[in-house]
Amino acid sequence: MSSVTSVKPCSHARAYHYIEGEGYCEKPEPPKGCPMDPGGYPPDPKEAFRFCRIFPKGKIVPSDAALIALGQAMEDPTNAPAGDSQISAGFTYLGQFIDHDMTADKTTGLPSGSKDPNDIIQGRSPSLDLDSVYGAGPDGSPDMYESNGIHLKIGQTTGRPDFGVTDSFPNDLPRESGSKKAIIGDPRNDENLAVAQIHLAFLKFHNKVADQVIAAGAADPFMETRKIVTQHYQSIVLHHFVPWLADDAVREDIRVNGRKFYNPNGLPDGEEFPCMPIEFSVGVYRFGHSLVRNRYEWNRVFNSSGIPATLELLFEFSKGSGNLGGSPTLPSDWIVDWTRLFDFSDIPGVSNHPESNKTRLIDTQLALKLGDLPEFQGDPEPHKKALAVRNLLRGRLVGLPTGQEVAAQMGVTPLTPEEIAAGPHGTILRANGLHTDTPLFYYILREAKVQQGGQRLGQVGSRILVETFHGLVEASQFSILKENNWKPSLHPQNAMFYTMGDMLAFVGDLNPIGG
């Protein structure tokens, strides 16, 4: 497997990559206002985030024009979902939160001018350790922690008379006065309000666990708290998030027989930690873009019966520590009602709101408003505003294999050209030969629709998703896969697995503004 590294992005998308043995990829250009590092490229590729290939580089190189045409067509022209999935809408942004944890770079901003080799290796590891929440820890990121060096700081919202929510609540990220910049381990978790509120939930989760650990007299309360929180988070990922998204038969095969393709023990140069599979990061995991809705049932103020909670507003009221509606911190009327975004059917004493949200189907039609998000505005090339176009071009940039090539490597039957072209973009696909040699990103979405009705990923997508997550959890310093018979200590019903509903109910802050 060859490694791929990239510079740190100023948004969630990486525009530049360095492929060992292949050199730098210089296109597409970074988003407007996203400058390169002063040296142009990372001065030391060993310090950059590491990617690798599970499968050989793709042999088919489609034209930019074909990918641009396909990507533009993927934006749903009706501006309405083709149908809802059975997946709770909060999973869209939990997935984004998980992505930012997997791609954390802990070597950035280390407190001293020297770097311990272990820090660099850990910093380049995508293991699921909640780096995005903990940063460099109480010693390396003291501004994120309370004076006791154990609890994480929480920010206060700003009450306003506009919608009758005038009280302040401890329900915002901690922010710098003046700049409004979020004081968190990964600034990308403040790029939209949904992922920001999920990050906040994990801050509160840590603090509540810390209270219990301190009361129990732990010798090292911070590390004990971090271990408990991280392991319950890993259970959420493996036992709640992944099962809703992946084929059951594929999951069971990996559970019983182990991974077949993503193998941390097969890393180049005998490296100890796994790298991020490029097929996962640039291909499969971008299926989450198809889950995005144009509007949400957010809380008692912003919903379909009142003021629509549009996708643009969710970005506007965070926007990377942006204007926050003109308030110094998040307005109180924008605090999320979790009973509308996650499923609490199995949680005693908690009911789902009747207006709870589901995601869009996993398919090749994306919410039209994705192209109107703030980070894309002002781009001189109109086609670059389409998120699907960016995904397809980036796949070409890093040499992703086609969906058919990956299926062949896996030994599974690929979708037929007829199955690929039977979707809404058949004319474009056939005209460019993409129905026989299909970009991995598009193939994964179409496979989900053909094989699973858009409710879960298909065979190829599920295999890459599940194997990657298993590998990343196994690589964690607190791995639940390495601890015999691990089970959640925080579960009130003594269950084997932990869910996002369990965590939010444990925090006990489901709907602060009521209604």
Q: Is residue 101 scored above 70 in pLDDT?
A: yes
Determine the residue type at 276. Answer: M
Read off the pLDDT of residues 471-502 as tens digits, 9 standing for 90 and up: 999 888 899 999 989 999 998 888 999 999 99
Whether residue 460 is predicted with pLDDT greater than 50 in this model: the reply is: yes
Question: pLDDT higher for 264 or 511?
Answer: 511
pLDDT confidence band for 364 (50 / 70 / 90): very high
Measured CA to CA, the distance from residue 351 to residue 345 in angstroms comes to 7
Enumerate domains of the chain plus CATH numbers.
60-507 (1.10.640.10)
- Collapse the DSSP code of 470 into the 3-class scheme (helix H, G, I; strand E, B; otherwise coil) and give the result: helix
CB-CB contact of 485 with 300 (8 Å):
no
Q: How far is CA 491 from the centre of its chain?
A: 25
Of the pLDDT bands very low, low, confident and very high (cuts 50, 70, 90), residue 10 is very low
Digit-coded pLDDT (tens) for 37-67? 434 444 455 555 677 889 999 999 999 999 9
- Between CA 129 and CA 479 the distance in angstroms is 9
Can you give the pTM of this predicted structure? 0.90
What confidence tens digit (pLDDT) does each residue in 499-512 have?
A: 999 999 999 999 99
328-331-333 Cα angle (round to 5): 175
Cα atoms found within 13 Å of the Cα of residue 258, Cβ hemisphere only: 6
Q: What is the mean pLDDT of residues 323-327?
A: 83
